């Protein structure tokens, strides 16, 4: 597919980075494949892809590798998130992704937006995996937080950050006091590497990073991922 100017396929910049775009299949907070996601192939601006590849070099030196859950996201996909949020009868993925909050509050609480930084092409949702390990199908379990609340954990083989990707809960915040120090250290390690290469974190999601000097800070794109 011919991409818009200044966009690239991530694997053409760095093929060592693992891609597991969750919205291309049904293991996500909606519970179904999202419109606009027609291939498990991450797309980013050239600047973001190069910066992520530079971060990957540092992770590799430490014995880890990046796993990308989401990158560029079409506006039509964001619009489908909005429609999904209004259907209060659809609670298919609640137990796995938002057990502690009302579906109708997801936007108000700042977990998703009707205009997403992903749609500007320089935001990624990522984790890291230990070299030699491989992703595996998600294994569902439950965990207790320090306040005794119970949250789901979806183990896919990545480094254990105590909460899994897209869990909409305060325990997923960077500065949470709901998890033990060893897991905060892992999150902070990832943060230190990515910030070194120009990425800013989102306080409510340990996996979410945006290139500070993104080339399209005010433009929201809508081409399909294919």
- 100, 151 Cβ separation under 8 angstroms: yes
Angle at 35 between CA 120 and CA 200, to 5 degrees: 30
Helix/strand/coil (H/E/C) assignment for every residue in the chain: CCCCCCEEEHHHHCCCCEECCHHHCCCCCCCCCCCCECCCCCEEEHHHHHHHHHHHHHHHHCCEEEEEEECCCCHHHHHHHHHHHHCCCCCCCHHHHCCCCCHHHCCCCCCCCCCCHHHHCCEEEEEEEECCCCCCCCEEEEEECCCCCEEEEEECCCCCCCCCCCCCCHHHCCCCCCCCHHHHHHHHHHHHHHHHCCEEEECCEEEEEEECCCCCCCCCCCCCEC
One of 95, 181, 182, 205 is an active-site residue; which one?
Answer: 205
- 88, 103 Cβ separation under 8 angstroms: yes
Is 214 a catalytic site residue?
Answer: no
**Residues 31, 195: Cα–Cα separation, whole Å:** 32
So which residues are the catalytic ones?
205
């Amino acid at each position: 597919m011919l991409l818009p100017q200044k966009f690239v396929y991530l694997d053409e910049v760095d093929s060592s980075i693992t891609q597991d775009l969750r919205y291309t299949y049904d293991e996500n907070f909606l519970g179904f494949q999202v419109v606009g996601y027609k291939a498990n192939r991450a797309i980013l601006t050239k600047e973001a892809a190069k910066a992520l590849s530079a971060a990957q070099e540092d992770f590799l030196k430490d014995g880890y590798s990046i796993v990308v859950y989401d990158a560029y996201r079409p506006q039509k996909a964001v619009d489908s998130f909005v429609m999904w949020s209004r259907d209060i009868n659809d609670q298919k993925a609640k137990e796995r992704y938002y057990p502690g909050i009302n579906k109708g509050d997801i936007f108000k609480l700042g977990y998703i937006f009707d205009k997403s930084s992903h749609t500007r092409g320089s935001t990624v949702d990522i984790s890291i995996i230990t070299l030699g390990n491989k992703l595996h199908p998600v294994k569902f379990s439950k965990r207790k937080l320090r306040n005794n609340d119970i949250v789901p954990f979806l183990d896919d083989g990545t480094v254990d950050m105590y909460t899994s990707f897209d869990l909409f809960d305060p325990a997923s915040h960077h500065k949470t006091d709901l998890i033990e120090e060893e897991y905060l250290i892992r999150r902070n390690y990832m943060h230190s590497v990515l910030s070194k290469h120009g990425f800013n974190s989102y306080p409510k999601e340990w996996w979410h990073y945006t290139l500070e000097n993104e080339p399209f800070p005010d433009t929201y794109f809508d081409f399909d991922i294919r």
